[in-house]
């Protein structure tokens, strides 16, 4: 698995207007998938969260730079399927995606990536 970061500037920074910052975590694959998004202020989001098809939350952040981490893990449990199609969207911009299939030889596949979120 490889998480691909998107819509970042050349320094790996995503610039958004605050203080309200909407976050959407989603997976459209068939595998048992978890998506975690953490912000250095201590805020954490995860998918699934017991709700419908995606996790949609909004956090309030002051102006500044925040280190962020995205973790995606897909598990091949047979009955769930083996494909994953995960994404993290912040303020309407797709920031991270992971798409693929967990091989039958592996029970899981995962990746982690980091970037800076600049709230203006």
73: confidence class by pLDDT, cuts 50, 70, 90: very high
Compute the mean pLDDT over every residue in the chain, rounded to the nearest whole number: 94
Torsion on CA atoms 97, 88, 61, 67, rounded to nearest 10: -30
Whole-number pLDDT of residue 25: 97
CA dist 16 → 41, 54, 84, 93, 116 (Å): 16, 21, 27, 9, 11
Weakest-pLDDT range from 6-10, 52-56, 70-74, 91-95: 52-56
Fold for the domain defined by 4-115: Immunoglobulin-like (2.60.40)
Highest mean pLDDT among 53-57, 68-72, 103-107: 68-72
Cis amide linkage into residue 48, ω under 30° from 0: yes
Whole-number pLDDT of residue 103: 87
- As a whole number, mean pLDDT of residues 46-68 equals 92
**Element at 112 (helix H, strand E):** strand 108-119
CA dist 4 → 17, 24, 28, 99 (Å): 23, 16, 16, 9
């Amino acid at each position: 698995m490889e998480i691909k970061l998107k819509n970042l500037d050349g320094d790996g920074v995503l610039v958004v207007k605050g203080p309200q910052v909407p976050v959407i975590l989603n997976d459209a694959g068939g595998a048992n998938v978890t998506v975690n998004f953490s912000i250095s202020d201590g805020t954490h989001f995860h998918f699934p969260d017991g709700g419908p098809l995606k996790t949609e939350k909004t956090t309030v952040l002051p102006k500044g730079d925040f280190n962020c981490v995205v973790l995606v893990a897909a598990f091949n449990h047979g009955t769930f399927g083996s494909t994953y199609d995960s994404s993290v969207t912040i303020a309407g911009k797709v920031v991270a995606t992971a798409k693929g299939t967990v091989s039958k030889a592996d029970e899981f596949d995962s990746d982690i990536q980091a970037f800076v979120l600049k709230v203006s």
